[in-house]
């Protein structure tokens, strides 16, 4: 099985750069898209040719803001928006349930202006995914966490340590998410590899080390999947300021 998690920073903009061709060619079993930033009717038109997928939209109620979409070749047996206990106005989380595994597609808020909201969101996510383990033992969390976990995951740790995205208090929350029941699939398979998944558009175009670069994007797995994850990587694409995370599972 191949799973892709990708923050597109706008489905319309990315589609104009031919991201749809790339997504088609990858032929993933599951696609988790974040920050689609378009109403469902618009997203449906853009993805009209993805007939081989079951598509779940959570575009939220704020026009042109946030939003998530999950595409799967297997039809989910159940779908939940948000964390199941309140309305997901910003369209940040989709959980798709299958017969023997669960996929949580999640777009964590940026903390530059809403740090406390971001921290509370991650705490709620942690409680939620651990509650899912009581019934479903195999869980994939595909997310733009808007947090670089360790110094390996940011190119300028000293400069960014006082800014949201690499604050110690944010990184502690990622530790808590991972500490008992989950693993960061990329870091599990690549303990020392430096690979960033976010850079500014200017940095993307310049081949030097301009600006900050972070590994913000993850596919986190329940620990019982540790022996089944075989490859996790990103491709250097130009459809977004983010790069996709691609996980191959046996």
In the chain the first and final C-alpha atoms are separated, in Å, by 6
Tell me the backbone φ, ψ of residue 135, rounded to 5 degrees. Answer: -115, -30
3-state secondary structure of 182: strand
Whole-angstrom distance, CA of residue 86 vs CA of residue 188: 33
Tell me the backbone φ, ψ of residue 220, rounded to 5 degrees. Answer: -95, 140
Radius of gyration of the chain (CA): 17
> In which residue are the tokens 């599990």 written?
188
Catalytic residue among 88, 100, 144, 236: 144
Active site residue 144: yes
Length of the chain: 250
Whole-angstrom distance, CA of residue 214 vs CA of residue 146: 9
**Cα–Cα distance list, 53 to 26, 60, 111, 146, 241 (Å):** 13, 21, 33, 28, 25
Question: Looking at 167-244, which runs of residues are DSSP E strands?
Answer: 182-184, 198-199, 213-214, 217-222, 229-233
Known catalytic residues are 144
């Amino acid at each position: 099985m191949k799973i892709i998690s990708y923050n597109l920073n706008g489905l319309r903009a990315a589609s104009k750069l031919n991201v749809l061709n790339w997504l088609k060619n990858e032929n993933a079993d599951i696609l988790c898209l974040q920050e689609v930033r378009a109403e469902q009717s618009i997203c449906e038109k853009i993805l009209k040719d993805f007939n081989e997928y079951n598509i779940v939209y959570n575009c939220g109620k704020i026009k042109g803001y946030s939003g998530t979409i999950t595409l799967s070749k297997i039809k989910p047996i159940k779908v939940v928006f948000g964390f199941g206990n309140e309305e997901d106005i910003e369209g940040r989380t989709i959980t798709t349930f299958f017969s023997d595994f669960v996929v949580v597609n999640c777009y964590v808020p940026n903390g530059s202006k809403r740090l406390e909201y971001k921290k509370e969101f991650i705490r709620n996510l942690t409680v939620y995914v651990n509650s899912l383990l009581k019934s479903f033992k195999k869980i994939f969390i595909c997310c733009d966490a808007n947090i670089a976990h360790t110094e390996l995951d940011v190119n300028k740790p000293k400069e960014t340590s006082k800014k949201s995205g690499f604050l110690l208090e944010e990184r502690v929350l990622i530790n808590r998410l991972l500490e008992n029941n989950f693993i960061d699939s990329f870091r599990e398979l690549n303990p020392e590899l430096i690979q960033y998944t976010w850079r500014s558009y200017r940095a993307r175009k310049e081949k030097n080390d301009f600006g900050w670069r972070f590994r913000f994007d993850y596919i986190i797995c329940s620990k019982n999947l540790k022996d089944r994850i075989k490859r996790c990587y990103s491709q250097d694409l130009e459809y977004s300021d983010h790069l996709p995370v691609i996980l191959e599972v046996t």
